[in-house]
Amino acid sequence: MKKPKYDSLRVGIVCSRFNEFVVNALLDGAKRGLKARGVREKNIETHWVPGAFEIPVMARLMAVSQKFDALVALGAVIRGETAHFEYVAGPCAEGIMQVQLETLIPIGFGVLTVENVEQAAARSRPDDTNKGFEAAQVALDMIAAMRRWG
């Protein structure tokens, strides 16, 4: 089995500025997750977009740039009193999946879709249960899985 050399991998992270207080914690977790596997800080590049709805566009630009072996998408969509949640959460997830399918660049999905701030905080703690940490590890696992095929 071809196991990737993590210290040479290049990983792009796309982050949503909306609910930035949560996304910063997810970003810290993602970087910890990458570094825990040996990805070098200099090989991690972060780009910010206004909101979760814009993540797929930036992810696609990053994927087709051929600069990255994998991407991590980070955001926090917190349900409010209007239908806005549904208009953002589903299309964001679908757009990210479409980018993966079109480009074959794995994307760790770390976009929280939660009911309230308490749920967001519980999923962005500074430990290994942080969804940013998990998304980064998934992206690396997918690189390994995909390399077994080619």
Name the maximum alpha-carbon separation found in the chain. 50
pLDDT tier for residue 3 given thresholds of 50, 70 and 90: low
Name the residues annotated as catalytic: 84
pLDDT tens digits for range 55-106: 999 999 999 999 999 999 999 999 988 888 889 999 999 999 999 999 999 9
Q: Evaluate if pTM is beyond 0.85.
A: yes
Domains of the chain in sequence order: 6-145 (3.40.50.960)
